[in-house]
Amino acid sequence: MNKKIAIAILLFSMTIVGKMANAWGHILGPQLHDACKSGDLAKVTQIVNYVGPEGSAEFFAGISSNGDSSMFVACKYGNHEVVKVLMEAVCSSHLSEDEKIKLLAGNDGHGCSALAQACMNDESKTVEVFLDTAHSSSLNSHTIYELLAGKNGNGQPLLYIACGDGKLNVVTALLKAICSNNFNDSEKETLLAGENKFNVTTLYKACREGHHKIVTRLIEAMCNTELNLDMDTLEKLIRGQSPDKQPPLSKALSQDKQEMVEAYLNAVLSSRLDSTAKVRLLEARTTDTTMTALDLADQSEVNYAVKAFVFIVQNSQALVLDEKKVILRRSIGIANDFGHGI
């Protein structure tokens, strides 16, 4: 065949494919959107199989008049089987990696990602399926990181949303994904810290809201040897951060959150941190003063959280006597009052 003729045929074929892709975007895109919203798995499967890997970004996005994408509505309404089919279709398409990230992120008109909406709605199964599908796909680790780094319309990261709202199963799914993907150290720290736009971290938020089971789960995940975080980073994450510079332990003590204090102490004492770091975390000094958590706690009327703090520290096998004295130096009188003096 003449070379010029072959090139002409190729260009003509590409033009036809391009026109078909545009038609799929205009005609089938809205149908895909409606099926994703209603959870019609059979129809979603039929449409994506018909279009195949040549589908355009416009087709897969299926943006509605209010700016919601097909992926967004599927996640919003917890249609996890639909999410899986749509994700697999996007991942196996001929689109660029950047286009795939944008489609899977599925931001609505207010900047909220599809995964963030699933977290907000406590659709833990959808979150789990989304992240498992991403992990088993051909997506590279940076793309998966970008998806996990998604935020809602208020600029709150996924883990921050779930920790603040007490959504334990969602937190578990997010932590599993963070631990099982090959992220670099900076990416791990960013995801686990989960700072909002006011620099409040996930651990601080969970402590402030009183979600003690989530605090335990967070610290256990942070100490996971698979993450291989260095000790300075680990201590920084467990310490937490907020604009008022008051560590989460200090906040829990002053607010008499006994279960929170017990959860935080037990998680820290059983962590892989060395004893010096544990002492620093339990002293919980504010960053701009020398005051410890016990200094700040209102001891005019000893609350149950302070009693629990003293008891756990005194009976800990992870600390030696001198370390206990450093932590409890302002509470020895209180400890003696309850028959637990050192």
Tell me: the pLDDT tens digits for 1-48? Answer: 554 454 343 333 434 444 444 455 567 888 889 999 999 999 999 999
Query: Does residue 224 register a pLDDT over 50?
Result: yes
Sign for the pseudo-dihedral over CA of 77, 78, 82, 88: positive
Give the predicted TM-score (pTM) of the model: 0.86
Task: Tell me the pLDDT tens digit for each residue of 172-184.
Answer: 999 999 999 999 9
Domain boundaries, the chain: 244-342
Q: Mean of the per-residue pLDDT values for the chain?
A: 86
Rounded to whole angstroms, the Cα distance separating 337 from 331 reads 10
Please answer whether residues 74 and 45 qualify as being in contact, where contact means their C-beta atoms are separated by less than 8 angstroms.
no
Please answer whether residues 23 and 54 qualify as being in contact, where contact means their C-beta atoms are separated by less than 8 angstroms.
no
Please answer whether residues 12 and 20 qualify as being in contact, where contact means their C-beta atoms are separated by less than 8 angstroms.
no
Rounded to whole angstroms, the Cα distance separating 110 from 72 reads 12
Please answer whether residues 45 and 85 qualify as being in contact, where contact means their C-beta atoms are separated by less than 8 angstroms.
yes
- Quote the pLDDT of residue 59: 86
Tokens of 148: 């996990």
Please answer whether residues 264 and 249 qualify as being in contact, where contact means their C-beta atoms are separated by less than 8 angstroms.
yes
Query: Does residue 286 register a pLDDT over 80?
Result: no
- Residue 151 has phi, psi (to 5 degrees) of -135, 165
Greatest mean pLDDT among 183-187, 251-255, 286-290 lies in 183-187
Please answer whether residues 99 and 116 qualify as being in contact, where contact means their C-beta atoms are separated by less than 8 angstroms.
no
Give the list of residues 6+ apart from residue 49 with CB closer than 8 angstroms, or none.
Answer: none
Kindly provide the b/e burial profile for residues 7-20, where b requires at least 16 CB atoms within 10 angstroms of the residue's own CB.
eeeeeeeeeeeeee
Q: For residue 5, which amino acid is it? A: I
Please answer whether residues 29 and 44 qualify as being in contact, where contact means their C-beta atoms are separated by less than 8 angstroms.
no
Sign for the pseudo-dihedral over CA of 74, 80, 85, 88: positive
Between residues 288 and 30, the one the model is more confident about: 30
